[in-house]
């Protein structure tokens, strides 16, 4: 049985290193028979959570009318969430962080709409060479996965890829494709 996989990207640079990594993952996952949807956060109209606690009050996950409405549908129908992103200041880019913060709608008190997602993976690249620079984003990702109860399928870290296309000189795309093709039913 195939899985529905949501690939959430955070880069505002089309064809950049994390975008290429996302595409390699998608290639592997689709070859394995999975259904994949890519949601490019940087190119969507999104607002940050306003802590208004009106989630679900207007029939949608969030009372803010923006592209999160579509993302919420994907959150509700996906089995796996894969995040592919560049590292921004030791964490997620703002565009991607908004997508994660707005999952609050599913974890507020009395929410009756649990997410279908049970597994997740993180693919992150950066211009930095220091392995410790990835610690912040990895700890945040792992804490979220643990809190929600998602199984971590893997983390791919790619240092020293700053210029567009630098990732082509690494084994990261091969690893991303293998991660995608390795997802089992």
> What is the maximum span of the chain, computed from C-alpha positions, in angstroms?
49
* 149, 42 Cβ separation under 8 angstroms: no
Which CATH number belongs to the domain containing residue 135 in this structure?
3.40.50.360
The range of the structural domain enclosing residue 116 comes to: 4-181
Range with the poorest average pLDDT among 31-45, 57-71, 106-120: 106-120
Q: How far apart are CA 25 and CA 56, in angstroms?
A: 33
Give the global pTM: 0.95
Q: Is a pLDDT exceeding 80 seen at residue 78?
A: yes
Q: How far apart are CA 9 and CA 99, in angstroms?
A: 10
pLDDT at residue 36, as a whole number: 99
Number of independent structural domains in the chain: 1
Summarize pLDDT for 131-154 with one digit per residue, the tens.
999 999 999 999 999 999 999 999
């Amino acid at each position: 049985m195939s899985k529905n996989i949501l690939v959430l990207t955070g880069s505002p640079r089309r064809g950049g290193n994390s975008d290429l990594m996302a595409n390699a993952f998608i290639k592997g996952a689709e070859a394995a028979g999975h259904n994949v949807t890519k949601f490019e956060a940087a190119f969507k109209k999104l607002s940050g959570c306003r802590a208004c606690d009106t989630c679900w009050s207007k029939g949608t996950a969030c009372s803010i009318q923006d592209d999160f409405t579509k993302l919420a549908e994907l959150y509700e129908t996906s089995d796996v969430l894969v995040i592919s992103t560049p590292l921004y200041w030791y964490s997620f880019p703002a565009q991607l962080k908004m997508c994660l913060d707005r999952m609050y709608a599913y974890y507020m008190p009395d929410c009756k709409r649990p997410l279908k997602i049970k597994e997740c993976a993180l693919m992150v690249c950066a211009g930095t060479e220091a392995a410790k620079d990835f610690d912040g984003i990895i700890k945040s990702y792992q804490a979220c996965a643990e809190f929600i109860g998602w199984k971590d399928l893997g983390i791919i870290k790619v240092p020293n890829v700053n210029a567009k296309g630098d990732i082509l000189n690494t084994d990261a795309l091969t690893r991303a494709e293998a991660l995608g093709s390795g997802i089992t039913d």
